[in-house]
Amino acid sequence: MRVALIQMDIQLGRPLENRARVADLVRQTAGQADLVVLPEMWTTGYALANLSGNLADRDGKPTEALLSGLAEECGIYLAGSRAVERQGRVYNLATVHGPDGRLLAEYAKVHLVPMMEEPLHLTPGDRLAMANIEGVRCGLAVCYDLRFVEMFRTLAIEGAEVMIIPAEWPAVRLHHWRTLLQARAIENQCFVLGCNRVGSDSNNDFPGHSMVVDPWGNVLAEGDEDECIVYATMDLAQVAEVRTRVPVFKDRRPELYRLGD
């Protein structure tokens, strides 16, 4: 499976400009990727105080139509996260659209970032989600979720072979980003796709370094700190190979993973 991570700069609070930029960048991947991943909150950036009733997509519109149309036009699976308002609540919503334009899966970020004041402005999701992409189960996560080991282990146990992670991970914790992406790949013996933004807003600098990591923890492709598209090809047979050679899931003993009375 060919993947493309769109490591873009995001204009704070300017959804019209960001949608136009995404349309241009996604079209550049046509014929070169099967799955394209966008960063976290790519329509607005972290303009959190202005999301409700103003910047967030109301019931998914109008960005839903753009994503559906781009996926169908380019014949790709298209993933990423954005702010969506439903019944007065704003969610950081990750979605996956298929090459026929249909919405295949959505996931509202369950772990909200206190360091970036997400809990003050967003509503957390209450369930995990996966997308079926060409018969491959792909777990969905967003940025801060990367720190929660149990979430990724649950997705892997339920059959995820690829983890898709849109992010706005700040430069001050770049070392954590790179280390955790590789750790989640190694411990869950899966591919990990981390798509991070570049640029800055009034509070943070964002370093890019979007990465495709294989089930051994090898970095197949990595961006630098500039806007770019990161391409890689995943050999999905490698997941079964690694899980057979190092049978972590078979050797688990979850009944013992608690302290005794």
The amino acid occupying position 76 is I
CA distance 223 to 201: 20
Q: What is the CATH number of domain 2-250?
A: 3.60.110.10
Cα→Cα distances 187→41, 133, 162, 165, 234, Å: 27, 22, 13, 16, 18
pLDDT score recorded for residue 260: 75
What residues are labeled active site? 40, 109, 143
- Pairing status of strand 77-86 against strand 89-97: antiparallel
Strands (E), 21-88: 35-37, 57-58, 77-86
The amino acid occupying position 186 is I
Single pTM value for the model:
0.97
Strand order in the sheet with 130-133: 130-133, 136-140, 162-167, 191-196, 211-213, 219-222
Q: For residue 206, what are the β-bridge partners?
A: 199
Per-residue pLDDT of the chain (261 residues; tens, 9 = 90+): 999 999 999 999 999 999 999 999 999 999 999 999 999 999 999 999 999 988 999 999 999 999 999 999 999 999 999 999 999 999 999 999 999 999 999 999 999 999 999 999 999 999 999 999 999 999 999 999 999 999 999 999 999 999 999 999 999 999 999 999 999 999 999 999 999 999 999 889 999 999 999 999 999 999 999 999 999 999 999 999 999 999 999 999 999 998 876
Residues whose CB is less than 8 angstroms from the CB of residue 169 and which lie 6 or more positions away in sequence, other chains included? 143, 146, 176, 177, 196, 206, 207
Radius of gyration of the chain (CA): 17
Residues whose CB is less than 8 angstroms from the CB of residue 143 and which lie 6 or more positions away in sequence, other chains included? 40, 109, 113, 165, 166, 167, 168, 169
Q: Are 178 and 196 in contact (CB under 8 A)?
A: no
Report CA 233 to chain centroid distance, whole Å: 17
pLDDT score recorded for residue 180: 98
The amino acid occupying position 238 is Q
Phi-psi map region of 149: left, alpha, beta (phi>0 left; psi -120 to 50 alpha): alpha
Measured over the CA atoms of residue 221, residue 175, residue 165 and residue 134, the dihedral's sign is positive
